[in-house]
C-alpha cells in the first residue's frame, strides 16, 4: 500500500501529521517548511511523495501552494489497518473515523506536538 510506504519515512510522517492537525484549510508549503525546519527542495520531494500516495492535496492561492491532508485516504488507511481488529469489530478498539475541525476552531491555542525527530526517545 503506497500510503503506508509514504508514511514510513519520518519527515513525511511529520508533514502529514502537521497537515492533519491543520484541518481542511491546510498550510502553505513555506509554513510547513518553517514549522518542521525542512529545506524547500527536501520539502518539495516529500510533499510530492505524499501527493503520489494520495495522502495530500494541494491548491494554488496566488503564488503559494496550499497543502491539505486527504482525510478520506487517511480514514481508508485506518480502516485497512483495523479491519480485523478485536475479532473483526473495530468499534471495540476505539479507533474512529476522523472528521477535520471547522476552520475557525483549528489551531486556537493548540500547540503542535514536536516532530518525531525532535522528540526525546
Identify whether 120 is part of a domain. Answer: no
CATH of the domain at 28: 1.10.10.10
Identify whether 72 is part of a domain. Answer: yes
DSSP letter string over 94-109? T-----PPPGGGTTSS
pTM above the 0.95 mark? no
Task: List helix spans (H) across the chain.
Answer: 2-7, 10-22, 29-36, 40-52, 71-82
Identify whether 113 is part of a domain. Answer: no
Strands 64-69 and 56-61 turn out to be antiparallel
Residues 67-115: tens digit of each pLDDT: 999 999 999 998 888 877 777 666 676 666 666 655 544 444 444 444 4
Identify whether 108 is part of a domain. Answer: no
Cβ neighbours of residue 77 closer than 8 Å, sequence gap 6 or more: 1, 3, 4
Residue 86: which domain range? 2-98
- Partnered with residue 68 across adjacent β-strands are 57
Mean pLDDT is lowest, of 18-22, 62-66, 78-82, for: 78-82
Identify whether 27 is part of a domain. Answer: yes
Amino acid at each position: 500500500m503506497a500510503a503506508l510506504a509514504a508514511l514510513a519515512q519520518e519527515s513525511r510522517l511529520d508533514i502529514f501529521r502537521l497537515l492533519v492537525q491543520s484541518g481542511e484549510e491546510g498550510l502553505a508549503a513555506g509554513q510547513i517548511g518553517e514549522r518542521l525546519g525542512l529545506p524547500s527542495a527536501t520539502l518539495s520531494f516529500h510533499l510530492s511523495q505524499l501527493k503520489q500516495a494520495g495522502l495530500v492535496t494541494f491548491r494554488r492561492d496566488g503564488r503559494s501552494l496550499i497543502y491539505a491532508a486527504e482525510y478520506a485516504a487517511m480514514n481508508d488507511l485506518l480502516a485497512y489497518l483495523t479491519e480485523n481488529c478485536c475479532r473483526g469489530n473495530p468499534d471495540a478498539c476505539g479507533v474512529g473515523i476522523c472528521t477535520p475541525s471547522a476552520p475557525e476552531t483549528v489551531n486556537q491555542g493548540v500547540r503542535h506536538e514536536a516532530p518525531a525527530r525532535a522528540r526525546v526517545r
